[in-house]
Amino acid sequence: LKRNRPNEKANFIAKRLMSDPNKPVRLSQAITVVGLCQDMCPEYERLERIKNNEVARLEYTGTGADRRPAEERMVKKFRRSEAGAGEQLPSDLRPPVVLQNTTTYLLKTLLDEVDLTEAQTFIWDRTRGIRNDFSIQRVSTIRDRRIAIDCFERIARFHIVSMHRCSHPNKNGISSDYDWSQDREQLDKTLLSLMEYYDSSRAQYRSANEAEFRAYWIMFSMQTKSPDIHNRIQNWPEELARDPKVQAALDVHATASNVDDYQGPFAQGTKHAIARTNPRHFWTLVASNRMSYLMACVAEQNFYLVRKTALKAIWRAYRQGGKTRPEDWSIAELVDALGFDTEEQVQVFCEAYGFSIAERMDGTPFLDITS
């Protein structure tokens, strides 16, 4: 297969199934590659990885002496477009239907066999490869775009659940190589691609789940510091902007925002124009039936920001000579105000900001604002 690789490439170029990377071509004459691989993993990669002992644990079958690579369980790895890596051939790329079947295998079949915490790293890489195959082929027909939207929606849900369940290594048994920031980065890219698919396909197709993912994007965008989010929403169809999920997400965005953190892509940012910081309303909203489980998982990405803002407000009230006294805030009261589950969590959080925990005359622990 390796010796035949150059001939295979030349044959694809001759049949105009791919462009010759050594010849300049006008953009208008560029050839869009169409995937021909009908398996979850191309044959060339399967054999290469078996030869190099690069088969993932979840791609094996059997145990002990009977353990062997199972080609039918192998899924194409994500591959960077790097100099010297060689261009991917049509036989390396999976067409949309195969990508959809592969997504189903990863997020349904495989997760019926093993827990998410065991498969997270594997699925994280393989779904990235799925998105890359879609990107290279630049799908354009409505049929293929519908498939792409379906895959990207399911992949986005995977990242949302993964970020919630796998962010506590010692608690959920996740391997130490889990990286929350990388999970977040791929969710960001997945949602961005979804928004582009929604916008470009609107005239011919609208996903029944669009409002759900627009809501995720709104809440997630708080961490990307997008000051023009409300301007963008004004360009959405009215029925989409008024959807209950979108409205709930906007409420989360507003109550979690503050006027302290600067917004925008430039070093000289601007303060949030419409923030109505209200931590208590934020926690009530997250716990309400307006929020689905996945919406609450996305809102969780803002918990730290809301807690920091609430703690800063308490400190400012004391520093500015208000009615707040050094002993006003007991640790038990801060459990609700900061959205924690236990007093121990409150203590760890406050101490991380340099505050001390003291005791009242009756032994009740409180936040020592003067510290």
Write down the pLDDT at residue 48: 95
Q: Cα–Cα distance between 135 and 354 in angstroms, integer? A: 47
pLDDT over 90 at 104, yes or no: yes
Q: What type of residue is 291? A: M
Q: Give the lowest-confidence range in 30-34, 124-128, 238-242.
A: 30-34
The answer as to whether 352 is a domain residue is: yes
Residue bearing the bigger pLDDT, 108 or 269: 108
What mean pLDDT is reported for the chain?
A: 88
Q: pTM of this prediction?
A: 0.88
Identify which has the larger pLDDT, 320 or 93: 93
pLDDT for 225 equals 59
Instruction: Choose the weakest-confidence range: 119-123, 155-159, 253-257.
Output: 253-257
**pLDDT given at position 317:** 82
Q: How confident is the model at residue 362 (pLDDT cuts 50, 70, 90)?
A: very high
- Band the pLDDT of 371: cuts 50, 70, 90: confident
232 φ, ψ to 5°?
A: -65, -45
Could you list the residue range(s) of the whole structural domain that residue 339 is in?
A: 325-368
Mean pLDDT computed over 94-108: 98
Q: How far apart are CA 207 and CA 198, in angstroms?
A: 8
Q: How many domains does the chain have?
A: 1
Query: Is position 155 within any domain?
Result: no
Is there a domain that residue 357 lies in? yes
Which one-letter amino acid corresponds to residue 113?
E
In 3D space, the residue among 258, 251, 304 whose CA is nearest the CA of residue 282 turns out to be 251
The whole-number pLDDT of residue 318 equals 80
Q: Within a domain: residue 70?
A: no
Percentages (nearest 5) of helix, strand, coil residues in the chain: 60, 5, 40
State the pLDDT at residue 261: 54
- On whether residue 362 sits in a domain, the answer given is yes
pLDDT category of residue 234 using cuts at 50, 70 and 90:
confident
Alpha helices in the chain (DSSP H): 5-14, 43-51, 96-104, 110-113, 116-137, 142-165, 169-172, 180-201, 210-220, 229-233, 238-241, 244-256, 279-287, 293-299, 303-319, 331-337, 343-352
In a domain? residue 342: yes
Q: Which two tokens stand for residue 76?
A: 């194409």
**Count of residues for the chain?**
371
Which residue would you say has higher pLDDT here, 144 or 222?
Answer: 144
pLDDT > 70: what percent of the chain?
Answer: 87
Higher pLDDT: 126 or 30? It is 126
pLDDT digits (tens, 9 = 90+) for 287-300: 999 999 999 999 99
In a domain? residue 354: yes
